[in-house]
Every structure is written in structure tokens, then in C-alpha cells.
Amino acid sequence: MIGVFRTLAVVGVLLVLGLLWLSPPSESRIARHALPKLLDTWLSNWEENTLIPFGESRIASGYETHRQLPDPSPAQRQLLAKDPGKGQSWERQRKITTALDGYPAVFGLPKISGFGNALKDKEKELFTQSLNDWAASVPTLHLAPVGHELEIRYEAARRELVVDALNDYPSTFDGKGPRLAVPIARYPLPSALSLTPPFLVLLLALLTGKTILSLFAGVLFGAMLSQGVLGGFQHLLSVYVLERALLDSFRLEILAFVLLLSAAIGLMTRSGGLEALVELIKRLAKTARSSQFATWLMGLLVFFDDYANTIVVGSTMRPLTDRLRVSREKLAYIVDSTAAPIAGLVPLSTWAAYEISQFAGQLPSVKDANGNPMQEAQGFSVFLQTMPFRFYCFLTLFFVLMTVLMRREFGPMLEAERRAHREGKVIADDAKPLASKRLTGAQPKEGSPRLARHAIVPIVSLVAVSIAMIFYTGWPEQQVAGGFFDFLRSVFENANSALAILIGSASAMILAAVLPMVDRVCSPLETMKTAGSSVFALSFAVLILILAWCIGFVCEDLGTKFFLVALSEGQVAPALLPTLLFLISCLIAFSTGSSWTTMAILLPNVVLLSHSLGSSCEIGGMTLMLLSIGAVLEGSIFGDHCSPVSDTTVLSSVASASDHLHHVRTQAPYALLVMLVSILFGYLPVAFLSPSAWPLSMLLGAGALVLFLLIFGRRPGAAESRG
């Protein structure tokens, strides 16, 4: 089944790429959307290397000097006369730099020209609007209207947007002093080639099933497109991996958070703290229903990592659910359906750290609801704002709870539960349960006492310290107008969230290490080995994280998002975008078996695409962006849920000792039902009607799930009729 689906998916991907290649959007449309990138390049060059002293033979690449103009005005003379050289004429010695306050003003606002008659009046108007929007987003640039202008033109032969000089610029007054050099910025116009790196990742993931190989090939191919065949590999290592990933403070903090949290999880597992925490919950379980509820509750409490959730909850609860005649299929469903959804929702988890890092880097390309340019550090705040639109995860957690409390099942799950309830067979006669010995990672120490505080205290510290640091780093300097929620919004928007959760995870790791040593459960050497092995066990995930960042850098350099925006403009109804992204994410994640790969492919290009489409309609750019980010995250988790080749699905079968194919077959109808409800009662009405309708959408979706169970569900212990 999965082989046939993968084949169809490969054919579909190739067809889509071929259609995009044969029918690209117009060059003027692409140019208009790529304009801010060109201007940012120009401004960056101008600020870094604006002026070159007169008489120097070395002239920076990409710059041109201009002939001298008449004497400056008295005001300019007074400005230039400051700080003369020691006993020498300032005309020959002084280097004019950007420290001369107000000098950017002489450039004025670049004009759109050089397109000939190719631009229609409407397009010229849109270009001008884009130019003005960009100027408004650069508060440090003084764009006074003067007679000295820059030109923005398009060189069709080289497919490049160019910022060039129309007129000469003021310099010194005698022709012997320093001359002003103007940066000539170039930006290659994005083409269908910009889509090939993410498409290559998708194709290789479908064909090989190897995430790291697929991501590396896509990144390397993109680097070669950007820097040439010879320079591509060097650029990948020196710029993408080292400079932009490992030396970037935001990403470094995210990476450190993931590693420290992994160490804390390993220490809590090794000390027996997590097992003791589960034992506390198990005391509530006396019946099949209460044992399922305890499993669901434990799934919520172990929120910080889906792997830890699956291993701890599944393997620990299995003896109890077996004794109370709960099928292994139902146990695997509860474990699988709480692990990824709760880890994907809670901000203090390894999943959330990855999710935020995939879209945060794109935020500076858009503006918030107040028209201010966004910052990468606002990723945490944006993640929280997507919560109302995380329909699939919330409804999945709710639906699992309803099947437990109502004791109603349908489809293959009903058959499995009836077998367990009536015959006492928790697995089918033909089942081939995956051996629990395949479980990896830290295991509780044999013969040592199990103390719940070894898990409870670090978890509480993780949450409390992270929240405290968010308030510490985000506390507004001035009083915020409005109520308490306006104050909270200001705190989360201004907070250094990556640093906050990093310190929170460090406190959790320290406590998880110290408490067992104080209670003589683990020795210092054993603690160090456990922490080290837990971090090393995450090396695969860390490599995926770094390569996922790199595929985002590739798409940014190639202008993939600009091409997609131009392609979608006028072709896709903005209100349909979240649903389309949700479905595409579902298909990619199901086919590849990796939600992280799916996010890496889609999220780097979703921010600008959704914001641009939303800005032209009633829903608004910011709201559509939040909806779209939430849709990609949710679709990725759904596809991961249903895919038989997903690592979390396999791990759920292993931890629950369930037949893997039986687990997939019984879980798929439940996941599909929640997916359909999420679309019909979530993304479509919220996007078409009003984003403020999300509470009603969530309630209606929950009601639809309950109604479905009442109509089509059956009690496993009842007769064949509905009971």
C-alpha cells in the first residue's frame, strides 16, 4: 500500500514541478515581490562599505566611483570640516563614512525604471507601493527627496534586478578629496529552479526513505545553484552550517535547549523518576476505562519529547492495560495520539523548539498587525498565536479522551477492543508484536528506589524558570496601555524566548542530575554517562535540525518564497491557502514518514507567501500567516500519525508491543476522521468567515466528533447492537 502511494506521490511531484517549469509567473510579477530583497542587499552593502577614499587603487567589487561635483554647500562644508587630519589637509585624509549622520538622505528613494514599456500602469503602482512599504520598514534610513537618485532596473539577458546610479553624487568641492562610491546591488530573479532543492528533498525522501540523505542532497544542490559547482560544497559548510546555523545566537540557543532537555529526560528516566511518576497515576486505574484514562493523562504530563513520551508511557502502562483487557492496538493508539500532538503544542518541548526554528528566520520579511517589521526573536510569540488554529492536535487529544470516557469504538478498533474484552486476547492470534527489546535509550537502574520527585521537581523547574525568564527578558520598559492581556502580549513579543527556555532546560537538567546523586540513586560517574549518552542519542535529530535550517537558507538565497508568492498571486484564493497547505503537509508527511522533513520543506516558504496573499484580502496578512503556519504544523503531525514508516508510529508499536500493521490499520480511521473535522469545522470556516470564530469552530468540531461516536460508535462489551 505504502509503496503504491509513494509511486503515485513521486509521479505527482514530477508533474507539478514540470507544470511550474513550463508555466512560470511573469518576470515583472516575480521582480515586484523580490524587490525588498534587492533593496535590503543594496542597503546592507551601502552600510558596510559605503565610501572609498580618493586616490586609492583598491576599489571594492560591486562599487563604482563617480566624477567630482561642484563645491558643497556651506552646510555640507561645515559637516565635512569636522575632525580634520593632524596638520594635514582634511580634503586628502578624511574618510567619509556612514557615521556622517544624515548622509543616506542624499540618495533619496530609488525609482523604478529600466523596464521600458513592459510594466503596465497597475504594475507600476504596485512596484511603487512595494518600494514605499520597504522604505517605511527601514527606520534608520533617511530617505529625503533630493535630485540625486538611484534606479531600479531589470536586465532581461541576465535575469537580474539591479540598483544602479542615475546621477552623480555630492562629494568634496575641489576634486582632490575623497570621492563617494555607490554600491551597485544585483539580485538574480528567482525562477522555477528555486523550487528544485525542496522538490529534490521530497523526491529523495519518497524514493529512499532516508531523511538526512535527502536533506543533504537538497542543500548541496541548492548551494551549487547559488554559488556554482565548485563553490557549493564550501559554501554549504562555511556559510550555511557554520556561519548561519551554528554561529547564529538564536539557533545556537535552540540547539542547546534541545540537547539539555534531552539530557534531563535521560536522567529522569535513568533515576526511575518518570517511572515513579507513572506509578502515581496508575493508582487511579482500577478498570479498563480508568487505565486508558491514566494512559491519556500520562501522555499529557510527559510533554517535553515524543520519544520519551512513547517509550515511558507505552512500556510502563502495558502490564496494567493487559491485565484489565485493553487491546494493544488501543494502547498504541492512545500512546501515539498523545505523544506528538502534546509535544507539538507545548512550547517547552523538543518539538516546539524545532517548529519555531523553522519559521522564525523568515519573520523579518513581513510586518505585524501594526505595520512594524517583525523580528526573528518573535518566533515564540508567533508560535503561541498559532494555538487557536491548531485544530488537529487539540481535537485529536479530545477525541482520544472521548473514546475512553464514552467507551465507544468503531471500525477495526472496535474489533480489537471486542476481542480483548470478550476473549481476553490483547493481541490478535496472527499478530506479530514488535519486540520491546528494540527500545533504546536510558533505562531505570535495576534495584534502585523509584522516587517521583526525581521527575516532578525538574519538570516544575523547566516550566517555572522558563516562564520567569520570559517575563524577565520581556518586561516592557514603559507601562503598556490596555489590560492584562495587552501586557502579556507585550511581554511575549519582547522576550528572548530562546534564551528563556534554554535557561529553563538547564535548570531541569541540573536538578535531574543532582537529586538522584543526593538520594544515592545514581553515582556522579553514572550521571555523567547517562547525560552524555542521552545527548549522543539525539545526534540524528540534531543533524536533521541543522540540515532543515540549511534548506531554509537555500530557499532564502534562491528566492523560492518570492517565486511562490508570484505564482500564487491571483491563482489561489487566500482563504483556501491554509486548507491546501494542511492537505499538502498531510500527503508529504504520510509519504515520507517524517513530520520534521515536511516542516523543513514547507515552513521556510510559508511565511511570506501567506502574509502576501492575506494582505490583499479581508482576512489580513498576519492572520493568514498564523493560520498557514498552524496548518503546516498540524498536517505534518497527521501524516506522521498515519504513516506506517513514521518513526513515532513504529516506536508506539514497539513500546506497546503491538503488531505494527494492526496499529496502523486501527489508528488510521480515527486520525482521518479528526483530519476531516479539522478542515470542515476549523480551517475552512475560520478562513472564510472570521478568525475570531475559532472558539466556535473548536466547539463545533468537538461536538461533531462526539456525535459521530454516538451514532456510529459501539461499546466493546455490548451486544452487536449499539449500546
Q: Where in the sequence is the domain holding 103, given as residue range(s)? A: 27-190
Tell me the C-alpha distance between 408 and 241, whole Å.
50
In this structure, the answer to whether residues 175 and 274 fall within a common structural domain is no
Interatomic CA distance for residues 391 and 577, integer angstroms: 15
- Going by DSSP bridges, is the β-strand pair 185-188/181-183 parallel, antiparallel, or unpaired? unpaired
> Where is mean pLDDT largest: 124-133, 156-165, 191-200, 438-447?
191-200
**395 and 267, same structural domain?**
yes
Q: Give the pLDDT mean for 539-548.
A: 85
Q: Please tell me the predicted confidence (pLDDT) of residue 410.
A: 94
More confident residue, 667 or 592: 667
Task: Average the pLDDT over 249-255 and give the result.
Answer: 87
Q: For 427-471, how does the pLDDT look when each residue is reduced to its tens digit (9 = 90+)?
A: 888 888 865 443 445 567 676 788 889 989 998 898 899 889 988
The verdict on 305 and 181 lying in the same domain is no
Residue pLDDT, tens place only, 643-697: 887 878 887 888 888 888 899 899 999 999 999 999 999 999 999 888 888 999 9
Instruction: Give a yes or no: residue 230 inside a domain.
Output: no
Predicted confidence at residue 142, as pLDDT, reads 38
Q: For residue 539, give every residue at least 6 positions away whose Cβ sits within 8 Å of its Cβ, in sequence order, or none.
A: none
Q: Are residues 315 and 386 in the same domain?
A: yes
DSSP per position, 443-479? -PPTT----THHHHHHHHHHHHHHHHHHHHHH--SSP
Q: Which of 228, 42, 53, 236 is nearest to 152 (CA)?
A: 42
Residues 264 and 146 in one domain: no
338 and 265 both lie in a single domain: yes
Examine the domain organization and report whether 36 and 162 are in the same domain: yes
Closest CA to 357 of 600, 110, 585: 600
Nearest to 588 by CA among 608, 572, 603, 571: 603
Residue 480 sits at the vertex; the CA angle it makes with 479 and 484, to the nearest 5 degrees, is 115
Averaged confidence pLDDT in the chain = 77
Question: What is the DSSP track for 5-62?
Answer: HHHHHHHHHHHHHHHHHHSPPPHHHHHHHHHHHHHHHHHHHHHHS--B-TT-S---TT
Read off φ and ψ for residue 118, nearest 5 degrees.
Answer: -70, -25
* Pairing verdict, β 160-165 and 150-155: antiparallel
pTM, two decimals, is: 0.76
Of 190, 210, 231, the last residue of a domain is: 190
User: CA-to-CA distance for 591 and 4, rounded, in angstroms?
Assistant: 10
Say yes or no: 440 and 330 in one domain.
yes
Chain-centroid distance, C-alpha 556: 14
Residue 573: φ, ψ to 5°: -65, 125
208 domain-assigned: no
Q: How many domains does the chain have?
A: 2
Query: Are 258 and 175 members of one domain?
Result: no
Cα separation, 106 vs 288, in Å, equals 77
Residue 318 inside a domain? The answer is: yes
Residue closest to 329 by CA, chosen among 407, 427, 422, 429: 427
Q: Are 270 and 183 in a shared domain? A: no
pLDDT of residue 503: 93
Higher pLDDT, 400 or 541: 400
Highest mean pLDDT among 4-13, 20-29, 419-428: 419-428
Cα–Cα distance for residue pair 670/336, rounded to 1 Å: 12
Helix-strand-coil percent breakdown of the chain, rounded to 5? 65, 5, 30
Number of Cβ within 10 Å of residue 424's Cβ equals 9
Instruction: Centre a 10 Å sphere on the Cβ of residue 192 and count the other Cβ atoms it contains.
Output: 18
Q: Is residue 386 part of a domain?
A: yes
My answer on whether 256 and 181 are in the same domain is no
| 160-165 and 185-188 beta bridge pairing | antiparallel
Whether residue 165 is predicted with pLDDT greater than 90 in this model: the reply is no
CB atoms within 10 A of CB 265: 31
pLDDT tens readout for residues 81-117:
554 433 333 333 233 322 222 233 233 445 555 554 4
The mean per-residue pLDDT over the stretch 508-518 comes to 94
What amino acid is encoded at 413 in this protein?
M
Q: Name the domain boundary from 153, 172, 190.
A: 190
Q: Out of 190, 205, 220, pick the residue that ends a domain.
A: 190
Which of 149-158, 428-437, 619-628 has the least mean pLDDT? 149-158
Residue 204, in any domain of the structure: no
Task: Fill in the amino acid letter for 589.
Answer: A
The phi, psi pair for 153, rounded to 5°, reads -135, 170
Within-domain flag for 630: yes
Identify the pLDDT of residue 500. Answer: 87
**pLDDT for position 60:** 28
674 within a domain of the structure (yes/no):
yes
Return d(Cα 152, Cα 259) in angstroms, integer: 46
Q: What is the pLDDT of residue 2?
A: 55
Range with the poorest average pLDDT among 500-514, 636-650, 703-717: 636-650
pLDDT (tens digit, 9 = 90+) per residue, 55-72? 222 222 222 333 333 344
Work out the pLDDT band at 174, boundaries 50, 70, 90: very low
276 and 156 inside one domain: no
Please give the angle made by the CA atoms of 305, 307 and 310, to the nearest 5 degrees.
105
Task: Answer whether residue 211 is part of any domain.
Answer: no
pLDDT at 97: 27
Task: Report the C-alpha gap between 630 and 636 in whole angstroms.
Answer: 10
75-79, 464-468, 517-521: least confident range: 75-79
